[in-house]
Amino acid sequence: MRGRVKRKPNKRRVFAVSPRLPSITCVASSLKTGVLSSSEVSPDFTRFSLTAGSLRAPKGLRPPGTSTYIRRTVSPAHTMNRILLLSATLAALHGATVPAATPPLLPQGARLAIIGDSITEQKLYTKYMETYLLACAGRSDMKVFQFGWSGERADGFANRAANDLAAFKPTVATTCYGMNDGGYQPWKDSIGQAYEANMRNVLRRLDEAGVKHIVVGSPGAVDSKFFGARPSFGGANSAAGYNDTLAHLRDLCRKLATEHNLGFADVHAAMFDTMPRAKAALGDDYPVCGGDGFHPGPNGQLLMAYAFLKGLGVDGDLGTIVVDQNGAPSATGGHKVLNSGGGKVELESARYPFCFDPDPKSANSTRSITPFVPFNQDLNRLTLKVRNLATAKAKVTWGATSKEFSREQLETGVNLAAEFPATPFDAPFAKVMDAVGRKQAFETQMIKGMVTNFRQFANDSKADPGLGAAFNSLRDRLAARQQALDAEVRKAIVPVKHTLAIAPAQ
């Protein structure tokens, strides 16, 4: 788009912001909430992008997530003034006001239900999410429960929602349905009609259960090689055809999220867009979406966790450590300096970086997918900054690993989580992940093996209050066991002491 202007006649747009101001929020009579931001794309043009959790943009406005380009006729400052004047004028014409900040999707004390089919019941992306939220984001106030069910479609969860959710009483939920709902066949309108109706029912049941914050997750993708040939697609390689079906279902998820002003996680794009990049580097036999074509391993499940954590609004700032060669070091975001001297800084950290499996090429390793997704940049930023470095380069040693960086890199800040393949947090992180895995395994047994079966005795429980009380007592005892396992997770999250050494490098 450089050097060209997009023109659409007779189109009104709400503009705000300049390159000097990151964002401003406006409300018009028919546009519920619009946040616009800008970036300079050339000396002559500035791009203004609209992103919104709005219900629906009014006729004549671009939908959320698109951009327009404006010629900067005089100067950046002049352009800024024109844009802000236009924004203020439109706001006045529509009686606009600046709304209160959007409530966080994970408020204090959030109780998160992670809901989905067999891909959820694999307890991989669910485990990554819970470990990240508790150990990395430091959200000790939160509770998480995994509700995955193998083979389930959206209507299946809608049928069990009231009964099963009562065991946890969530306030926040993520959903991931569509892989089974698509029927493993080419797209047709009836598939979408049934899926949309069932997902609307899911959202209604969640609301009735007291869930006030929802991230509607799309289905993922199928592997371009390993999904194989299916009779429903004429016996040819069926991945492209079924990914088209899944993309249609993704679009319906986005539509529902926008309509209900909910969060949205584009799991399909996270997997489908990453797959060709990963296969180009690691070979076509590298399964991004699973060896069976649709149950992803740790690599693909990390992509799912990425999409959902982004959908939940996690900011990814895990803290900053500043080492001043002419002064005292400092640390923020759950990290504290214990001692310093002789080119070393001893720290204690209550928050962990997200740690990856070691193998850089195996699909069974989370690390193997990280070069192809901005997980570290977006969600896993533990930053080291070094001030007043006397040499052009320095060697940084963290734990048993050393790496050289330029003075400019260190002044700007390097992401320790991304730069160091082995960290002092690896072993403690693995212990937390194991504890989360044990808890989530019990949650599957608790719901599928016991709690969901209470539905079969609904009429008997009404006729016999004693029987109903017995079921309630059993539900409470199971919940107490789940809470005990949750306490074990929290006991595993212990502060980690570690040392950073910074030495001149030639």
Both tokens of residue 57?
A: 């943009």
- Report in angstroms the alpha-carbon separations of 44 from 41, 79, 81, 336: 8, 10, 16, 46
Question: Which of 239, 240, 241 is CA-nearest to residue 228?
Answer: 239
**C-beta of residue 200 within 8 angstroms of C-beta of residue 222:** no
Report the DSSP pairing between strands 496-505 and 344-349.
antiparallel
Give 391-421 as a 3 state SS string. Answer: CCEEEEEECCEEEEEEHHHHHHCEEHHHHCC
pLDDT at residue 416, rounded to an integer: 99
Among 48-57, 230-239, 397-406, the least confident range: 48-57
Packing angle, helices 267-282 and 298-311, rounded to 10: 140
Both tokens of residue 178?
A: 């569509």
pLDDT at residue 40, rounded to an integer: 37
Length in residues, the chain? 506
In the chain, the percentage of residues whose pLDDT exceeds 70 is: 80
Question: Which of 178, 169, 175, 14 is CA-nearest to residue 83?
Answer: 14
Q: What is the rounded CA–CA span in Å between residue 258 and residue 156?
A: 23
Q: The whole model's pTM is what?
A: 0.81
Q: Tell me the mean pLDDT in the region 189-213.
A: 98
Stated as kind and residue range, the H or E segment containing 443 is helix 426-449
Q: Which residue has the higher pLDDT, 254 or 75?
A: 254
- Report in angstroms the alpha-carbon separations of 152 from 117, 149, 241, 298, 354: 5, 6, 22, 21, 30
Residues 321-366: tens digit of each pLDDT? 999 999 999 999 999 999 999 999 999 999 999 999 999 999 999 9
pLDDT at residue 237, rounded to an integer: 87
Q: What is the rounded CA–CA span in Å between residue 186 and residue 232?
A: 7
pLDDT at residue 28, rounded to an integer: 33
pLDDT at residue 303, rounded to an integer: 99
Dihedral, CA atoms, 175, 436, 355, 271, nearest 10 degrees? -20
Average pLDDT value for the chain: 85
Question: Which of 197, 212, 228, 113 is CA-nearest to residue 161?
Answer: 113
- Report in angstroms the alpha-carbon separations of 352 from 136, 378, 382: 5, 15, 9
**C-beta of residue 221 within 8 angstroms of C-beta of residue 284:** no
Residues 103-123: tens digit of each pLDDT? 679 999 999 999 999 999 999
Query: What are the residue boundaries of the structural domains of the chain, listed by start?
Result: 1-102, 111-311
Packing angle, helices 189-208 and 154-165, rounded to 10: 10
Q: How far is it between the farthest Cα atoms of the chain? A: 83
Residue 250: what residue type? R
Q: What is the rounded CA–CA span in Å between residue 184 and residue 387?
A: 56
In the chain, the percentage of residues whose pLDDT exceeds 90 is: 78
Confidence of residue 255 (pLDDT cuts 50, 70, 90): very high
Question: Which of 428, 383, 413, 419 is CA-nearest to residue 401?
Answer: 419
- Report in angstroms the alpha-carbon separations of 31 from 25, 56, 70, 90: 11, 7, 21, 12
CATH topology (fold) of 111-311: Rossmann fold (3.40.50)
Q: What is the rounded CA–CA span in Å between residue 340 and residue 130?
A: 34
Q: Name residues whose C-beta falls within 8 Å of residue 82's C-beta, 6 or more positions apart in sequence.
A: none
Confidence of residue 98 (pLDDT cuts 50, 70, 90): very low
pLDDT at residue 23, rounded to an integer: 33
